Amino acid sequence: MASSVAIPQDIIDNVVEAVGNDKHVLKKCALVSSSFLRPSRKQLFSEISLRSNRDSKRFHQFLVQNPVIQSFVKNIAIIQHWGSKTSEFQNSTSLLAILRLPFSRLESLSITCAHRDSWNWNSFSYELKDALSNIIHSPTLKTLYLEGLFNVPITLFLGVHLTNLELDSLSPNDFDGEQSSSLTPAASKGVATTASHTVIDQCRWYLSKGVDGTRCPTSVYISLIGDMEGPTEPIFLPFMCRLRSFEINIAEFVVNLGILSFLMRSLCVSLTSPATLEHLKFKIYFRGNDNRYRYGFYKDLRDADVWNHLDLIITHPTGSRLQRVDIDIDYTFRYNDDTRTPNNNEILKIVLDALPLLREKGILFVEVKVGQ
């Protein structure tokens, strides 16, 4: 009679790992035998999503009963979806209880508010703020994604060590909270000194997303653009201090690039020595409703204050390591006169002429295309 052959555990682990994130298959693998259960659970619970009080309560009970699962969790996503009540979820005791658990291998935290009323950090309980802050400052955390929050305190980022920071639908004005919005190194040397211990390798800042990578502007975004029309003092942002790569994605539905200038000036006052910045990237999406926007768009590009600050960054000590600057412009006009076509070369010339120092150094790469 043929005897059964024991499969080495490392082979089983590799087989389950090859399944990837297919939860349906992973659940079946977990039922095969005790040898398959642990690696299957390790994959199944590597990422958890918390979307409601009910989810949080049920999952907290499961984690308490199975503490080994806590060491499997690498990514936590807190999602405030459209159908839920904002205050009910953010004040959930079960959510707080989960965030207080010792996730020893947690690498990524994302907080997403898709609700029409964004989350206000100041409305969080002291306990919830403390729990989130502890996770963000955890030595294992590598990626932080924030979407739809406002009144985020600048001090939250002091001393953090991250590989990736992604900000979505947050304006610079949202970084306030208990700190003054006019915080600068000159105004607060203590904070600037502490910020020198803040290391964030890459930052991507999405000011708007939706069709073709852009989202239709919210009322908050429109008011932000309006606020940026006049001169605005740059602010010191700790997460910019030691950046290696900085990418800004902006969708322009009105003719105004003032926010890019603001962010560029804030970057210049936030960078610290020794130089770390190697890559800058701007992605500009513009959607004009009709032909009236065409002239305004060209004029705005030509007169944009951001080009001066961008071109001069290589003359600063903190910009000495800059190796590449990408500017991608994706635009569409709905013309009243179909005989008029967009002129990519004209837009390209406007941008190139505005950045002579970057051109001379040979690190400027500009792409202009007409969107669909």
Rama region for 283: left / alpha / beta (φ>0; ψ in -120 to 50; rest): beta
**pLDDT at residue 352, as a whole number:** 94
The CA distance from 245 to 280, in Å, is: 6
pLDDT, averaged per 10 consecutive residues of the chain (372 residues), comes to 64 67 67 69 82 82 88 90 59 87 94 72 88 94 90 87 89 54 41 62 79 37 42 79 93 70 89 93 81 73 90 91 95 62 81 95 92 66
**214, 169 in Cβ contact below 8 A?**
no
* Three-point CA angle 256, 236, 151, nearest 5°: 75
d(Cα 171, Cα 206) in Å, to the nearest integer? Answer: 9
pLDDT (0 to 100) of residue 359:
95
Q: Using DSSP bridges, classify how beta strands 245-252 and 279-288 pair: parallel, antiparallel or unpaired.
A: parallel
Torsion of CA 260, 261, 262, 268, to 10 degrees: 110
pLDDT score recorded for residue 231: 43
Beta sheet of 143-147, edge-to-edge order: 47-50, 75-80, 108-113, 143-147, 161-168, 199-206, 245-252, 279-288, 324-333, 364-370
DSSP string, 286-338: EEESSTHHHHHHHHHHHH-THHHHHHHGGGSGGGTT--EEEEEEEEEE--SST
Q: What is the pLDDT of residue 230?
A: 42
107 token code pair: 């690498």
Positions of E strands within 87-227:
108-113, 119-120, 143-147, 149-150, 161-168, 199-206
CA separation for the pair 286, 268 (Å, rounded): 26
Say if residues 271 and 277 touch (Cβ distance below 8 Å): yes
Query: pLDDT value at position 174?
Result: 65
Q: Within 10 A of 249 (CB to CB), how many other CB atoms are there?
A: 19
Task: Please give the Cα distance from 168 to 209 (Å, whole number).
Answer: 8
What is the distance between the alpha carbons of residues 140 and 305, in angstroms, rounded to a whole number?
A: 39
pLDDT at 86: 54
d(CA 265, CA 303): 16
Q: Where are the domains of the chain?
A: 9-44, 48-370
So what's the pLDDT on residue 98?
Answer: 93
Contact 113, 148 (CB under 8 A): yes
Contact 263, 296 (CB under 8 A): no
Residue 283 phi/psi, 5-degree rounding, is -120, 115
Short-list 258, 278, 277, 265, CA closest to 237: 265
Helix, strand, coil % (nearest 5) of the chain? 40, 20, 35
